[in-house]
Amino acid sequence: MLNTPDSVPAAQITARPAAFRARPAARPALVALAALALLTGCSGGIAQSVSTAVKDSSSAVATARIALRQDMDGKLTKAATDTSLEDGLKEVEAGRSSVLKLSPATQEERVAQKQALDVLDQCAAGFATARAALAANDGGSPSLPDGDKALADAQDALKQLEGAVGSR
First to last CA, the chain: 80
Region of 52-60, 101-109, 113-121, 137-145 interacting with another protein (CB under 8 A):
52-60
Backbone φ and ψ of 104, nearest 5°: -65, 145
Q: Does 20 bind another protein (CB under 8 A)?
A: yes
Pick from 47, 52, 98, 110: which binds another protein (CB under 8 A)? 52
Contacts of 79 (CB under 8 A, 6+ apart): none
Q: From residue 118 to residue 157, what is the string marking binding to another protein with x (rule CB under 8 A)?
A: ----------------------------------------
Q: Does 28 bind another protein (CB under 8 A)?
A: no
Q: From residue 85 to residue 124, what is the string marking binding to another protein with x (rule CB under 8 A)?
A: --x--xx---------------------------------
Q: Does 30 bind another protein (CB under 8 A)?
A: no
Q: Which residues bind another protein (CB under 8 A)?
A: 1-21, 33, 36-37, 40, 52, 55-56, 58-60, 62-63, 66-67, 70, 74-80, 82-84, 87, 90-91
